[in-house]
A and B are shown apart, each in its own frame.
Chain A
Amino acid sequence: MTRKPLASDNRRPDTPLQSDTCSDSVVRQAIETGRTRILITATVMTLAFGVLGARLVDLTVLSEPAEPRTAKAASEETIGRRADIVDRNGTLLATSLHTVSLFADPKRVMDPRAAAYKLAAILPDSSAEWLESRMRKPGRFVYLHRSLTPRQQWEINRLGIPGIDFSGNETRLYPHGPLAGHVLGFADVDGNGIAGIEKRFDKTLGTDGKSVALSLDMRVQHILRDELTQAIAEFKAIGAAGIVMDAKSGELLGLSSLPDFDPNHPGDASADARFNRATLGVYELGSTFKIFNTAMAIDSGLVTMNDFYDASKPLKVSRYTIRDYHAKNRSLSVPEIFIYSSNIGSAKMAVDVGGEAQKHFFQRMGFLDTLSVELPEAGHPQSPSIWRPINTMTISFGHGLSVSPLHLASGVAAMVNGGVLMPPTLLKSDIPRKGRRIVSEATSDSIRRLMRLNALEGSGGKARVSGYLVGGKTGTAEKVGMRGTYKRKALISSFVAAFPMNDPKYVVYIVLDEPQGNEATHGYATGGWVAAPTVGEVIRRIAPVLGVTPVDSEAPEIRQQLAIELPHAQKRLASF
């Protein structure tokens, strides 16, 4: 086969093809095709590798030059822990601790009796019989003990019993014990809220684990509970409730109901101890309602502080007779009706205002609706289905309308803080809350003067504390007995106070359930004798803690702020 240069071959396309030139051109063509294919493949490969290389540079150098800084591993495992509950100062009220539980796989335990005796020696609160019966149960998983101490865990581990194992879980712990038991409520062993804040904020605490800051102040709470405990012991009461509330924001600094329970061991508590008297219990709270009655009457414009009412004889309405406890048997001015706690005068004032207006007033105060507070244990008031004139009269002095003590405390806060009702809250609020106006500033000012006057000259004298301008109102109501009649000896004695009275910051309310009079009280068990001193003691102890500046009650500007002038009676009532 002759070899000719390619160029010459190309230059003669019209030459008749010889057999060898023909094969030669086929070969050349094949080579050409091959070359083109190689070129294409090479181009594609180069491009592909180029892309890969570029991407490699992009990934390693350009987009994320450093290792992503994650601290995931540490936080991931802590998710699922139930969040803490703290008070307004950050004191821990409820927390979850990781603990170790002991469980058995009954199928793998070979000698339950021997194992039970060995374990019982380490676990002092479980008997061998009980452990053995647990390990003889069918199934593959039984709990033997929850929350082992590290030492118990180590000792059980050392026994090396097959079929016995540990599992990590968490235990809810309430370091303060019963101190705020009614507010906190409790959670069950699986971390589900069963009562109180634990139930109300079950979702918040459980899923995303955000801690809840309460409005409570544990120092105030302690003082409140301490004084309530002493009052119960002194007057042999069957129970008590106490409330300390910020008059302006509606935040609850203390809320206690006795008897109470330790949320660490809720199962040991009786039903009575688990009953929250401050929020769930509804009672006829007696004369403390005269604060609302007087405010309503003055705010309506129909009654003024200078009006007089005849309280010389008991008021007969159909088959009822309304009497005065401290009867004066004469005409009484509105301030006198308040400080002598005249039922007759109050009833007449309420009649002047009218039943419809009274019902509307209590409606706006929330006294006819379930208590609005962040607790599942919120009491529903008992109000008359038909608001008859007799109801209007009795409600004016606190009978015939049962509300929870917290209803009353928030109502009193509204009466003294300038007339704005703040729904009570157990959550710490940093932003100012919105309330709704119930009475005018001027009415609120009159109520402040009346409450101060009552502490100076009326039934609230025992609540006075030097340095703090305390004002308040007593309330004594007979409890409704079994057959709907009032029990003479079973009283609900209470005292509600606010301080400092010229610009109230806090409202303190104490209710004693069935107190008994003693020698010191000359046998009286009324609000002025049993609840007022307790309120005074609470205020004396919490005022410095809360940073309330003491004032001289004799200072002329203070006297002027709280004085009441009576033009008709020649005498000046507000002598200090």
Chain B
Amino acid sequence: MRALAVMVWIGLCAVTGIALFHVAFRVERLETELSSLNKTILSEQEALEVLEAEWAYLNRPDRISRLAGKYLPELAEADASQIVSISEIPDPAPFPVPGPSASPAVQALLAATQEQDNGQ
């Protein structure tokens, strides 16, 4: 009886020890991983800063207008006469009624949509 108890305790101690070391090693591995991830994040952040600065640099209005003049010579500045409000646009053409050429599936779908609209 006593021997059994001793055996059980020794066994328990051994299992605990192994588990402890296992956890300790895993923590160590995760910490290494964490610090390398943090390093990556930092370097990515730095890269982002550089890229953002570069983006702003490349999007300088004077550069864009120079490039537009070079590669898009037909493009002109918007003129006041080109801007109208939506109410000034005449009503768009009414929804085209599907002719006989429309497939039966399309006609059925349209009929269903119309029914739904009428129901509301």
Interface assignment of A355: CB less than 8 Å from any CB of chain B: no
Q: B residues near A, CB below 8 A?
A: 34-35, 38, 41-42, 45-46, 49-50, 52-57, 59-62, 65, 77-81, 83, 85
Residue ID in chain A nearest B27 by CB atoms? A67
Interface assignment of A161: CB less than 8 Å from any CB of chain B: no
Cα distance A131–B81 when bound, in Å? 63
Do the beta carbons of B62 and A222 come within 8 Å of each other? yes
| With A465-B80, A466-B80, A544-B78 as contacts: A74 and B38 at CB distance below 8 Å | yes
Do the beta carbons of A95 and B49 come within 8 Å of each other? yes
Residue ID in chain A nearest B50 by CB atoms? A97
Interface assignment of A485: CB less than 8 Å from any CB of chain B: no
Residue ID in chain A nearest B57 by CB atoms? A175
Interface assignment of A18: CB less than 8 Å from any CB of chain B: no
Do the beta carbons of B50 and A544 come within 8 Å of each other? no
Do the beta carbons of B60 and A549 come within 8 Å of each other? no
Q: How far is the CB of A534 from chain B (nearest CB, A)?
A: 16
Do the beta carbons of B53 and A173 come within 8 Å of each other? yes
Most buried by A among B50, B52, B62: B62
Main SS class of interface, A: mixed
Residue ID in chain B nearest A91 by CB atoms? B56
Do the beta carbons of A98 and B81 come within 8 Å of each other? no
Question: Chain B residues near A98 (CB, 8 Å)?
Answer: 46, 49
| With A175-B57, A175-B60, A226-B62 as contacts: A92 and B80 at CB distance below 8 Å | no
Do the beta carbons of B61 and A222 come within 8 Å of each other? yes
Of the residues B42, B53, B61, contact of A97 by C-beta under 8 Å: B53
Of the residues B41, B77, B78, B80, contact of A468 by C-beta under 8 Å: B80
| With A73-B38, A74-B38, A95-B52 as contacts: A549 and B62 at CB distance below 8 Å | no
Interface assignment of A323: CB less than 8 Å from any CB of chain B: no
Residue ID in chain A nearest B45 by CB atoms? A78
Q: How far is the CB of B37 from chain A (nearest CB, A)?
A: 8
Q: Which 9 residue pairs spanning A and B have beta carbons closest together?
A: A467-B80, A222-B61, A550-B80, A175-B56, A92-B56, A175-B57, A73-B38, A544-B78, A74-B41
Cα distance A219–B45 when bound, in Å? 28
Q: How far is the CB of B56 from chain A (nearest CB, A)?
A: 4
Q: A residues near B, CB below 8 A?
A: 73-74, 77-78, 91-93, 95-98, 173, 175-177, 179, 218-219, 221-223, 226, 465-468, 540-541, 543-544, 549-550
Cα distance A466–B53 when bound, in Å? 38
Question: Chain A residues near B42 (CB, 8 Å)?
Answer: 74, 77-78
Pick 17 A–B contacts, CB within 8 A, sort by A: A73-B35, A78-B45, A92-B52, A92-B53, A95-B49, A95-B52, A96-B49, A175-B56, A176-B57, A179-B60, A219-B61, A222-B61, A467-B80, A467-B81, A544-B80, A544-B83, A550-B80
Question: Chain A residues near B53 (CB, 8 Å)?
Answer: 92, 95, 97, 173, 175
| With A97-B49, A97-B50, A222-B61 as contacts: A73 and B56 at CB distance below 8 Å | no
Do the beta carbons of B49 and A176 come within 8 Å of each other? no
Cα distance A455–B61 when bound, in Å? 30
Question: Chain B residues near A74 (CB, 8 Å)?
Answer: 38, 41-42, 45
Do the beta carbons of B61 and A179 come within 8 Å of each other? yes
Question: Chain B residues near A543 (CB, 8 Å)?
Answer: 80
Question: Chain B residues near A549 (CB, 8 Å)?
Answer: 83, 85
Question: Chain A residues near B34 (CB, 8 Å)?
Answer: 73
Most buried by B among A92, A541, A549: A92
Question: Given known contacts A175-B60, A468-B80, what 11 new A-B pairs fall within 8 Å (CB)?
Answer: A74-B41, A92-B55, A175-B56, A176-B60, A218-B61, A222-B62, A222-B65, A466-B81, A540-B80, A544-B77, A549-B83
Question: Chain A residues near B50 (CB, 8 Å)?
Answer: 97
| With A78-B45, A226-B62 as contacts: A550 and B83 at CB distance below 8 Å | yes
Cα distance A221–B77 when bound, in Å? 16
Question: Chain B residues near A223 (CB, 8 Å)?
Answer: 61
Residue ID in chain A nearest B30 by CB atoms? A67
Question: Chain A residues near B45 (CB, 8 Å)?
Answer: 74, 78
Cα distance A262–B81 when bound, in Å? 37
Of the residues A73, A93, A550, contact of B81 by C-beta under 8 Å: A550
Cα distance A175–B53 when bound, in Å? 6
Question: Chain B residues near A219 (CB, 8 Å)?
Answer: 61
Question: Chain B residues near A73 (CB, 8 Å)?
Answer: 34-35, 38
Cα distance A329–B36 when bound, in Å? 86
Question: Chain B residues near A173 (CB, 8 Å)?
Answer: 53
Cα distance A222–B68 when bound, in Å? 15
Residue ID in chain B nearest A219 by CB atoms? B61
Cα distance A92–B48 when bound, in Å? 13
Most buried by A among B41, B52, B60, B61: B61
Cα distance A303–B38 when bound, in Å? 73
Cα distance A173–B42 when bound, in Å? 19
Q: How far is the CB of A53 from chain B (nearest CB, A)?
A: 15
Residue ID in chain A nearest B44 by CB atoms? A74
Q: How far is the CB of B79 from chain A (nearest CB, A)?
A: 8
Do the beta carbons of B60 and A177 come within 8 Å of each other? yes
Cα distance A298–B6 when bound, in Å? 108
Cα distance A96–B57 when bound, in Å? 14
Cα distance A549–B78 when bound, in Å? 12
Most buried by A among B41, B50, B56: B56
Q: How far is the CB of B109 from chain A (nearest CB, A)?
A: 39
Question: Chain B residues near A465 (CB, 8 Å)?
Answer: 80
Question: Chain A residues near B79 (CB, 8 Å)?
Answer: 467
Most buried by A among B35, B55, B83: B83
Cα distance A219–B59 when bound, in Å? 11
Do the beta carbons of A179 and B80 come within 8 Å of each other? no
Cα distance A466–B65 when bound, in Å? 23
Residue ID in chain B nearest A229 by CB atoms? B62
